[in-house]
Amino acid sequence: MITGSQCRAGRALVEVTRGKLSVRSGVDEAVIEGFERKLQEPEPEAIAALQAALEALGAVFIDENGGGIGVRLKFTQSEGRRIARLESEGGIVASDRVP
């Protein structure tokens, strides 16, 4: 599950307001603000809905992997093809592309 900081950063990366995220996720705007400002911890279902909505908009959440948690944008199709070609993977980066 994502943290409030990841939610705030993901929202900034995909350039969506709290209001628009509220509409897309079904989570009240005040709950989103409290979560991002670390004032309250929403129900797990609300956090999952926020994460799903941000991922649908192009955010990729990075779990703790020794370097810390984070968020980044998905690769575009052309970036995915370029990376695959440069890395000589022999395939296309399918799960990491925005349509």
Q: Residue 70 and residue 22: Cα distance in Å, rounded?
A: 21
Residue 54: count of CB within 10 angstroms of its CB:
25
Q: How long is the chain?
A: 99
Can you give the pLDDT at residue 5? 93
Can you give the pLDDT at residue 36? 96
Can you give the pLDDT at residue 40? 94
Q: Per-residue pLDDT tens, the chain, 99 aa: give them.
A: 899 999 999 999 999 999 999 999 999 999 999 999 999 999 999 999 999 999 999 999 988 776 778 888 887 777 667 766 666 655 555 565 555
Q: Which CATH architecture has domain 4-98?
A: Orthogonal Bundle (1.10)
